[in-house]
Amino acid sequence: MSALIVLAGFVGFVGPAHAGYAAIVVDATTGQVLNEVNADEPNHPASLAKMMTLYLAFRQLQAGRLKLDQQLPVSAWAAARAPTKLGLVPGKTISVEDCILAMVTKSANDAAAVTAEGIAGSKERFVEMMNAQALLLGMTSTHFDNASGLPGPRDTTTARDLARLAMALYRDFPQDAAYFATRQFTFQGQVVRGHNRLMDRYPGMDGLKTGYTNAAGFNLASTAVRDGRRLFAVVMGGRTAVARDNLMARLLDDSFEHQQTPDVLVAQAGVVRSNKVGQALAALSPIKSATADTLPAQPRHHRHRGKRVATAHNTCRPRHAACARRKHAAHTPRTATKLVRRGVKQPTVVASRTHDGG
């Protein structure tokens, strides 16, 4: 761990971020970049930073230092994080698995803060771990300021770095990667719906993560499989959620067909801002009302570990390895990652708003 902290010290060489459009698509098997526009330009990660928080959580689970049903304490600092959040109460606890699901679906900033403190003991220590791990993954143009992706004075990354992180999540934690396909989950009797609407309408897409702040624009990291071929893609700085999603779909379609997406289409989906405008928006971000929808849970139920777990009609239980294998066998090549959950709460197939406020 000391080596990680030494590495983190070199992150100060990255430059300041600006809110600009960028995109990249990478072949998961060969590592070939199939499409890229401004892929090395510095940008704010927004909630795509939570992919690193999840990476470190999965690493702790893999090493046996965390358990999915382990209860983590909610500090006053974690509970006070800006929306979007679950509304956790100081002094209460939340399970590791619920933190994971809350970050994947609702992009909950309080859940990310609880995870950070649960792993590292303090937010500062966790940020050091995030930046050290980023360097180990080759994310040399990235500096994380916090576990959530809320605007910070030095938070910066690139589309290329985030693509590396997305691929690392599937490569290093195949038993956990299927979490990123979760559309919604039930927390304290409420259905918490996710932001990733594109998964519902793009065939073969089974993850990853949305992101949004005023400073960053609309960001999205995605992975999809077609004809036994898996691609990873990142879009940053979208002017709207719809524009971002449509651009992602076009990039993936073109890349699967071995075609180049015209740069002008990427530019049209994004917003170009001056430094002054970007700084002003960063000061206003995140939008307080940017929260995901919740509603009372009224699904069928199955018992699991004494808890009532919601399930959707015509949906297999992905906590079972056989279900995950059956679900992906038709699309996943032998060289691609096999998505098998390590005990994931049952997702259903409904997505909601795209704002995630950090």
Active site residues: 47, 50, 107
CA distances from 16 to 43, 138, 144, 152, 280 (A): 8, 18, 12, 11, 15
- CA atoms lying within 13 Å on the CB side of residue 217: 26
Cis peptide before 296 (omega within 30 of 0): no
CA dist 51 and 208 (Å) reads: 9
Contacts of 305 by beta carbon, 8 Å cutoff, 6+ apart: 69
Are 354 and 241 contacting, i.e. CB atoms less than 8 angstroms apart? yes
CA dist 311 and 316 (Å) reads: 8
CA dist 188 and 172 (Å) reads: 31
Are 204 and 249 contacting, i.e. CB atoms less than 8 angstroms apart? no
Supply the DSSP string of 296-339, one letter for each residue. Answer: E--SEEEEETTEEEEE-TT---TTSHHHHHHHHHTT--TTSPP-
Are 228 and 330 contacting, i.e. CB atoms less than 8 angstroms apart? no
Beta partners for 22?
Answer: 236
Distance of CA 133 to the CA centre of its chain: 16
Torsions phi, psi of 10, nearest 5? Answer: -85, -5
Segment holding 6, helix H or strand E: helix 2-8
Torsions phi, psi of 183, nearest 5? Answer: -90, -35
